[in-house]
Amino acid sequence: MKKHTLVVVAVAVALGMSGCSGTSNVAAGGDSVDSVTIGSIHPLSGSLSGVGGLMNAGAKMAVADINEAGGIESLGGATLVLNEGDSQGKAEIGQSEAQRLISEGAVALIGTYQSDVTQNVASVAERAKVPLVIDVAVDDKILEQGYSYSFRIQPDATSMGASGARSLIAMGEATGTEIDTVAYIHIEGAFGGSVFEAFKTEAEATGITVADEITYSGANFSDATTQVTQALASDPDVIVVTGYFPDNLLIAEAVNALKPDIKAVFGIASGAYDDNSFPAAAGEAASNILSANYHYSATSDRVADIRTRFEAANGESMETASMLSYQAVEVIAAALEESGSVDPEVLRDAISALSLTDPLLEFNGPIEFDENGQNINATVVVMQVQDGAVEQVFPTEIATKEAILPAFSR
Amino acid sequence: MTALGVAAPERLADLKRRLPTGARLHFSVLALVLVVMAFLPLVVPESALPVAIRTLVFAIMAVGWNLMSGYGGMFSFGHAAFFGVGAYTNAYLLTAFGVSPWIGMIVGAGLSAGVGVLIAYLCLKYKLAGSYFALATFAFAQMFLLVTLNMEFLNKSEGINIPLLPEESWSMLQFDQGSLYYYWIPLVLLGVAVAVSISFVYSRPGQFAQAIRDDPTAAESLGIKVMKYRLIPVALSCAVTAVAGAFYTQYYLFIGPDQAFGLHVSTDAIIPAVIGGIGTIWGPLIGAAVIGPLSAVVAGFLRDPPPFLEFLYGTSGLDIAIYAILLILIVVFLPKGIYGTIRERRRK
């Protein structure tokens, strides 16, 4: 009988632990107009914790700036509170974090950097009727579910892949560089796959052959020589690359080591090639690499001020992803100001009707969302690493340097 | 294969007659645990519910893994394959043909059992054992990942979304977010999985399987059909794991190649069983209860640390460090897992 009891107690106690996840700051936010809680979800641990942490810092800075400027006036100067969630880079953790943040009183969410995590968070937002402002996540499909509570500031995959292809072609024509064949290396998963599909459709429509599609797994990726060698087998004019920072860095290094006879390495939505830490990280391998991506405005004073303060506070350069997190908080703040309500459903309508001028990114106009929640003025620019710095090179109106194409003289 | 997953009542009764002490004790503990657990969501905060649900999914997977690897002695390092088959079968049948997830779950379990039996048959036929068997299962899981990534009808790398329904539906296994059914359903599934484990372990095939695990040559010399009684726990194991996969898809409303076949899925099935105690009925549950909430507990703690640990505020990844330390400590000091070691001490 004693044995009985012990087993029962042990099992019950152990299983009981499953419920004891500590949740602390339940008091934050809620219906009080003293403060308004925004939930953020980014990969704060795991292999993407570098960029995730910086995005979180960007959002935090936006909250601090808005509070310093008097908070939300239409809510009697209510201050913003950022409740930070960690997706660990996993879709199911992102989902449970979203549920936690909402149950702790978040009236809106921002996040999440990865397409699959965002997918799950968007479904949580939809079911809980709490708006989600996507800072970074490229996959078209996220907004194709017919959800009405998800909004995206950055361009989607189709738009990035297609305008990446158009930019490449236009730059080739402008510089008299013949581009007939490309090989495409991209990360496995929704992000790489969707950008690739859009690029391929657009490129093939204009007569460019996509000779090879090479995919790699982001996990445990430690050398790209195999992938680059495989890409070179089709004798391409250009290698196009889509992926995150560590893997794209390896690809650049492998290209540099092999010194192939190609005209350019062209990143589309690459997490590395327009990152300010890339030239230093890759050294010689970074030289003249092109990148079509959404980008913070390199010509705006407001952006320059934010970036300077960010760097002073965090000791690291503020990249476009962090800028988008900052921007996402601004979008929510503007909608709160507009609606004067902390009701998430009213807030949703306000975001949907928003026209936010002076965006922090190099966009075609103010931030406005279409019926799917996509920012209609989001666009990409082409950058190039020149003399150890990332320069805007295309379109020429916003260029800080002239493009070098062919990028390599071999 | 699915017939094996359900112990018919008369067979249960028969079992109880034959082995009154062991099985009956386990069944009564199971009933008690389920009743206690059923009330858990009423006492914990709402935000802990997703963690509890994730823990239940881990527990089902670990119970499944334990059948094959703990009782069958065939160490699988590729249970993601079976989890993924269950998840994708449900997702595909539902999105392409509108099949109810309950049916999808059963079909997935059957398919997964078939796949598992085939893989195990090939491995055993070619005399792969120990780490070679583990590596082979790992390779199969990776193969499934790659195949899925290249299958147009499975949406390749994009994964499959389960469409949101306007209203709650029992037949389509979809409820409002935060609904307690999302907790009670996996709890019942876990109960069934544990009941299957208990019935199997105390059944004749289960005894044969354990005899083969301990000494295949001796078992064979006694006339036990080694291959047959090795494949039975494999089939059960895969079916149980597939059910976890199907529920996962319904709860998260999304399944992608990485969520289904990623390496971490295989380890998610193994670690709770290792921590709790391999080859024990309750080990996987105890292990899941320790591991499942770990990262949420640590993260919650870090969001609001006590004053003397203020310096830890905002650090991330600490849960992974604790997880690793815990794993090392358990392997060193409790080599048979938490429950396994306790049980052994009591027997002495």
Per-domain residue ranges for chain A?
Answer: 35-155+299-352, 158-293+381-398
- Domain A35-155+299-352 fold is Rossmann fold (3.40.50)
Q: Is residue B287 part of a domain?
A: no
The predicted pLDDT at position B1 comes to: 40
DSSP B64-102: HHIIIIIIS----S-THHHHHHHHHHHHHHHHHH---HH
Contacts of A145 in chain B (CB under 8 A): 161, 163-164
Percent of chain B's residues with pLDDT above 70: 93
Closest Cα in chain B, distance from residue A120 (Å): 7
Is B56 an interface residue toward A (CB < 8 Å)?
yes
User: What residues 294-313 of chain B have any CB closer than 8 A to a CB of chain A?
Assistant: 295-297, 299-301, 303-304
Domain that holds residue B257: 2-263
Q: Is residue B69 part of a domain?
A: yes
Confidence category of residue A28, pLDDT binned at 50, 70, 90: very low
Say how many CB pairs under 8 Å bridge A and B.
177
Q: What is the total residue count of chain B?
A: 348
- Token look-up 């082995």 returns B19
pTM: 0.77
Count of structural domains, chain B: 1
Q: Domain A158-293+381-398's class?
A: alpha beta
Are A121 and A112 within 8 A, CB to CB?
yes
The predicted pLDDT at position A26 comes to: 34
Confidence category of residue A115, pLDDT binned at 50, 70, 90: confident
Type and span of the H or E element at B182: helix B181-202
Between A96, A123, A188, which is nearest B253 by CB? A123
Closest Cα in chain B, distance from residue A11 (Å): 6
Show the tokens assigned to B172.
């389509």
What Å distances lie between residue B170 and B104, B165, B245, B250, CA to CA? 14, 11, 18, 12
For A259-299, write each residue's pLDDT tens digit: 999 999 999 999 899 999 999 999 999 999 999 999 999 88
Is A384 an interface residue toward B (CB < 8 Å)?
no
Closest Cα in chain A, distance from residue B337 (Å): 13
Q: Is residue B247 part of a domain?
A: yes
- Confidence check: pLDDT of B5 > 60: no
Are A268 and A199 within 8 A, CB to CB?
yes
ipTM: 0.70
Q: Is residue B301 part of a domain?
A: no
Distance CA(B116)–CA(B226), nearest Å, equals: 17
Are A332 and A274 within 8 A, CB to CB?
no
The predicted pLDDT at position B320 comes to: 78
For B274-326, write each residue's pLDDT tens digit: 999 999 999 999 999 999 898 788 877 777 777 777 777 666 677 778 888 88
Between A8, A93, A190, which is nearest B32 by CB? A8
Contacts of A16 in chain B (CB under 8 A): 36, 40, 289
- Token look-up 């992803």 returns A321
Determine the average pLDDT of the residues in A353-376. Answer: 94
DSSP B109-124: HHHHHHHHHHHHHHHH
Q: Do A25 and B303 touch (CB under 8 A)?
A: yes
DSSP state of B163: P
